[in-house]
Copies of this chain bind each other. A is one copy, B any other.
Amino acid sequence: WKIALLPGDGVGPEVIAATKSVLQVIGDFYDHDFQFSEHLIGGAGIDAVENPLPQETIDACLASNGVLLGAVGGPKWDGQKLRPEQGLLGLRKAMGLYANLRPLQVSPVMAHRSPLKKEIVEGVDLIVFRELTGGVYFGDKGRNDDGSAYDVCSYSIEEIERVSRAAFKIAIQRRGKVTSVDKANVMETSRLWREVVTRIHAEEFPQVELKHALVDSMAMHLIQRPRDYDVILTENMFGDILSDEISVLGGSIGLLPSASLGSGGPGLFEPIHGSAPDIAGQDLANPVGTILSAAMLLRHGLGLEDEAASIEAAVAAVLAAGATTADLGGELGTRAAGEAIIDAIR
């Protein structure tokens, strides 16, 4: 198995290093030959070769069985022509990663850390399906002669169909409920979104319960009654906002993994948290989000269910025992937190 590692910026290199150690132990234990390679992305790419997404990185990712990313971005590159984020956005496009999955479960152990009341968040179990290669992210954009600026948001029928199918398929394996989020009372792309999702549902997945919600009222309901949701399906920008909103419900964004999948090719796996430049290089970052992303890589990317489950069980045990980094009130550094998980796997 070829696993491409993209440490990136800020705390990225530290969380990737801790996760690589976990994957090596899993490889030894289950007798898999994981071949790791490291590549430049984001600010690291800008600094080294003046390119946030070198061709070498794209080639290596496409030739891999799965890509594990740390984080990109930071104030260091603010206001410059080359932006670290271009590396990540370009890679999503180059790998055809049209669905970003962010699962969130709020366990009784973690519920008290939430900014929400325990009785509202305990037992939350949802997954966000964010469309990742369309919308305003990849539309035409620029400035006009009069100094005004524009961004075009566009969606094709096929783009909506494929991500809807992916979401409905996952819903069948879960509680069978999809909430599709749009702004159909204002946006034409949202009206198309609603039409296509409704048709795919009726034609191919009538057994799933489908509801539509407006993005503004969804931003409210996610705080008022997050337990009501199972699969949340939405377009790129709304998904960016809502999945970040959701990510704090569990009380620690440092724990959350994500997977970005296309059709057939390798997937990209990364923690939800950003590059956190303020704590970079200090052995303070929580590696759990990246380690759980590696578990998603093993499951979705390599089909190694037992191996993924063994990482997840180890993480749950370590968290329950309170062996955590400072963001969760513990005393471990990044490396030690990774080693605690390795001990639990062993």
User: Which residues of A approach B to under 8 Å, CB–CB?
Assistant: 73, 83, 85, 89, 115-117, 120, 136-137, 139, 141-143, 146-157, 183, 185-189, 191-192, 215-217, 219-220, 223-224, 237-238, 240-245, 247-249, 253, 274
Residues on the B chain within 8 Å of A89, using CB: 186
Chain B residue nearest to A156 in the complex (CB):
B148
Residues on the B chain within 8 Å of A249, using CB: 223
Number of copies: 2
By the criterion CB–CB under 8 Å, are B237 and A220 in contact?
A: no
Residues on the B chain within 8 Å of A238, using CB: 241
**Chain B CB within 10 Å — which of A117, A151, A154, A216 has the most?**
A151
Known contacts A149-B192, A217-B244; 14 additional CB pairs below 8 A are: A73-B185, A115-B223, A117-B117, A136-B153, A137-B186, A142-B188, A147-B192, A149-B155, A150-B152, A150-B153, A150-B188, A151-B153, A183-B240, A223-B248
Chain B residue nearest to A253 in the complex (CB):
B220
**Chain B CB within 10 Å — which of A73, A141, A219, A240 has the most?**
A219
Evaluate whether A192 and B141 lie within 8 angstroms (CB atoms) in the complex, with A185-B83, A216-B240, A248-B223 already known: no
Residues on the B chain within 8 Å of A216, using CB: 240-241, 243-244
